[in-house]
Each structure stands twice: as C-alpha cells, then as structure tokens.
Amino acid sequence: MGELRCAAIDLGNTSGRVSCGAFDGKKIMLQEVARFPNPKVLIGSAVKCDVLFLFSEVLKGMKRLPDIASIAIDSWAVDFALVDVRGDICTLPHHHRDPRTRPYMQRFSSLEDQRPWYRSTGLSFQPINTSLQLLSMVENCPEALERAETLLLIADLMAYFLTGEITCDATNASTTQLLSLSDRCWDVRVIEEIGVPKKLFAPLVRPGDSLGTVTQALASRYDLNQRARVVSVGSHDTASALYAVPLVDLHHVAVVSSGTWSLFGAILENPIVSDAALLAKYNNELGVDGRTRFLKNIMGMWIIEELIRHWELEDGQRISYDELFGAARGSAAHAAVFVPDLDRFFAPVNMEDEIKHYLQDTAQSCVCDRAQLVRLVLEGLALSYRESLEQLQLITGVQYSKVCIVGGGSRVGLLNQFVADATGRDVIAGPAEATTLGNVLSQLEFHGEITTKSELVEVVCASAKIENFVARYSPEWEEAYGIYLQLKNAVRA
C-alpha cells in the first residue's frame, strides 16, 4: 500500500509546530515542516496570546504539505478567544498566566465552596481555569462578553479559521470546569452561576468527527489541499499525548505528560470526585477513547524554560539544553530541596532570582551555579512526582508499579532517572513526540487504518524511541523527600 499522509498541527505553551505523519501500514514517520515560538504578548498590564501570529505560522507550514489526506489540530488548554457575530475575534485572548484570576481563587477557598463544582465538573480550582477567567470578565469587562457570539478554545479557534465551522472538542472542553461530568455536555448550572451567556458555548464534537475542509479562500491564497478533511482529535495536547502511551494495559501504570506543565496521574474507567481527590487537586478530564484522564498539574519544565529564557537574554545567545542537562548530571546531589509547585514560581519576573529567594526563605544554602540550579529543579520535580504518586495510590486504591513518561520532558534522561529513584518505580520514557503522534493516530483511526488498541500500541512502539529506567534505592532520596514534605507542609500552614 502507499503511504497515508496526515498533517498534525500542535500548538504548545511555548512553541508550535506543523508536522507530517506518513503511515506505511506499520509505522508513522514524523517530519516536522515548521516550528515557531508561541510568545506571550504584554498589552498594557494584560498577558495575551498572539493567535493571529500562530495562525499565520500554521498556514506557512501547511503550504509545505500539498499531498495530505487529513489535518488535525491540538493545543494547550483553558485559554479561549471570543468571536463576534461577524466571525471576527473580539480581542487577543488572555493567557492563563495573566494574574486576573488570582482574586477569584479566594472566593472558593473552602472545601464547602469547591465541592459542588468539583462533583459537577470533576475539575479542581486552579487560577488557570477557564471558569475563573470568565468570572473575571463578568465582573471586570462584561461588555466584551456582550459583544461576543461564541467562545472558542485555541485549537477550536484554529479549526474555525481553517474551515469556517464553529465547534468545540470535548477533550479540551473537559479542562474548562464548564463541562458536566455526568453527560459530558456543557454544565448549564455552573455557566449560569458564573453569569456567562449560554449562547457562547459551541456544539461539542468528539475525536473522530469530521470538521469539514479548508475554506476556498484559504485554499486559493495559500495553495492548500481542499480535499483533505479537517478532523477532530484530542485537541487538548495532553489528551493526544496520553493516547500515544506505548502500553495496552495501564491499570497499574501511572502516566505523566511531561512538557511546560507536567500532568501526573492515571487513565481510569470512571471519574473520582472524592474529597481526597479534590484536596490533592486531581482533575477528571476526558480522554480520546472516552476514558477519564485523572491528572493533576505540576509546574513541569516551565521552570527550566524560564531559567533558560532569562539566561539566553543575559548571554545574548542560545543555550544548549543537552549541554546544560549534562552539566547538571555532574553537579552535587541534593544540595538543597526544591518544591516546584508553589505560587511564587507560577509567573515570576525572574525565575532565577525567585529560586534564590526561595532558598533564602527556607534557610537553605544558596545554589548559584546554573547547572546546580537545573539539577535542583529536576530533583524537585521528581520529589513532586513521588508525592503525587502516593496521593494517587491512596485515592484510587491501586498500587502503581511503573511510571510512563511521554512528551518532550521524556527526552531528559536525568529527570527520568530521578523519577525512578525518587518514586522507587521503573520508568518507561517515550514517545517524546507523543502529542503529534497521538494526533496522527487519531487521524489514522478516522481513515480506518487502525481499529484496535493493540494495533495502536504496535504502531506507537514501531514509530518511536522508548527507553527504560530502573529504580535504584538511595537513602539520600528518602531524606530529601522527608525535607520536601516538611517544606510543603510549612507553606500550607
């Protein structure tokens, strides 16, 4: 048989890419044809997403893919654009790291305040939530909501730009705290409680649905293939990433989608909305196959990315991730204990200064060397994974014997080994390009090329590099974890 070629558009928190996935019946060959930054834009005091720049870069990439059978888009979650009655965006969307939602977290500070929404939507309260972004708009700029006709999450916005069709993928909608857990439809009660017009919420689609074709105007101007179908996939990038986990049986496997954010948890048949799950900030999100992605957000590689961004500005040149991680490997182990999931690391002006202030505030010796700082952060992430694993086991009643890490962070062998050693669980790492691979896998299912889970996993294993990291017991990790818990508990107190 000839190759089936699919275009995968992946818009991550810090960068975007357009790739071609060519399937020969056994494996997928991924070719990245365009990569571009996803810069945050400061307009006045507001942090915005430049979606028009992103779409222009998507079109440049699509011009390089004339012979494709289908197109699919995934993106980061929670952020959205408002579209008016003429079909134009009202303004550039706010970014979830904009501080506008912080005051509204205080309104839901008690378990009694949070419990009804959690049991209804399955989502815990976090400042990034779409629900709180909308609540901020209701109280501070209601005129923007009045002008709007439709709300579209980022991947849905890009699909609308391509096709002219207004829809919302359910996997990404499940991250908004606005989707009902019982029927996976828009939660009218929560929407009314926020005070947002119900008309804003677009018809829901599921992975595998056809969204149409590229508009005639775009096809003519950019020489795009108008025969290719635009297909709904797991448009939340984490949903697509976890669809590419290289295992059939996940009952005793904890999963991590490792990127700018780390999403740690498990794939479950049914959601869990216990108080223990709420307190641990686990979320019940919808997977590509309809199962529950039971996950919690961990600060992830964001901290490393911000350190490197600052250092590159300081040095005036690019910094090699590989060289930096190699230097971190040779740095002192457990020179201090870092707790990554603190509010202070969410969006500081200078990440390096913030880490150094944290070390001073916790009476730990200051680590000034860059490689040592990177090692400190990686060790802290591994300790955070261990805490999340222990919470997961208590909540689910399942003992997880392995941890599977997918996404860009799985390339960092040092972090993978730290996770194995900190958790006492062997780690399966890869695919690194899990999101793009998961995007293409869903398109292949649309075309009838993959029909079973075992076939899907065979294709994943044939298409990607998978590594194993064996857990090694170390009393130093046990001591570090004890200090980590003390520091975390001190912050809670």
pLDDT at 107: 87
Summarised one tens digit per residue, pLDDT across range 383-402 is 999 999 999 999 999 999 99
Summarised one tens digit per residue, pLDDT across range 116-132 is 999 999 999 999 999 99
Lowest mean pLDDT among 12-26, 91-105, 385-399, 437-451: 91-105
CA distance 6 to 3: 10
**Band of pLDDT at residue 493, cut at 50, 70 and 90:** low
Q: Is the pLDDT of residue 368 over 90?
A: no
Pairing of β 283-286 and β 292-298: antiparallel
All domains of the chain in start order, with CATH: 4-237 (3.30.420.40), 245-430+451-493 (3.30.420.40)
**Band of pLDDT at residue 272, cut at 50, 70 and 90:** very high
CA distance 178 to 189: 9
**Band of pLDDT at residue 366, cut at 50, 70 and 90:** confident
CA distance 383 to 158: 37
| Strand-pair partners of 41 | 48
Summarised one tens digit per residue, pLDDT across range 32-62 is 999 999 989 999 999 999 999 999 999 999 9
Contacts (Cβ under 8 Å, ≥6 apart) of 316: none
pLDDT at 1: 52
Give the burial string for 318-347 (b: 16+ CB within 10 Å, else e): eeebeebbebbeebeebbbbbbbbeeebbb
Instruction: Specify whether the CB–CB gap between 284 and 290 falls below 8 A.
Output: no
DSSP single-letter state for residue 393: H
Average pLDDT of the chain to the nearest whole number:
96
Determine which one of 237, 275, 343, 369 is catalytic.
Answer: 237
3-state helix, strand, coil in the chain (%, to 5): 45, 20, 35
pTM: 0.96
CA distance 416 to 471: 10
Phi, psi of 450 (to 5 degrees): -125, 130
Angle between helices 413-423 and 475-492 (to 10 degrees): 90
CA distance 74 to 154: 8
Start-to-end C-alpha separation, the chain: 63
Give the mean model confidence (pLDDT) for residues 61-90: 96
Provide the H-helix boundaries in 5-140. 51-62, 102-105, 111-121, 130-140
- 234: its two tokens: 């797991």
The reply to whether 237 belongs to the active site is: yes
pLDDT at 109: 84
CA distance 109 to 443: 42
| Strand-pair partners of 133 | none
**Band of pLDDT at residue 491, cut at 50, 70 and 90:** confident
Summarised one tens digit per residue, pLDDT across range 283-303 is 999 999 999 999 999 999 999
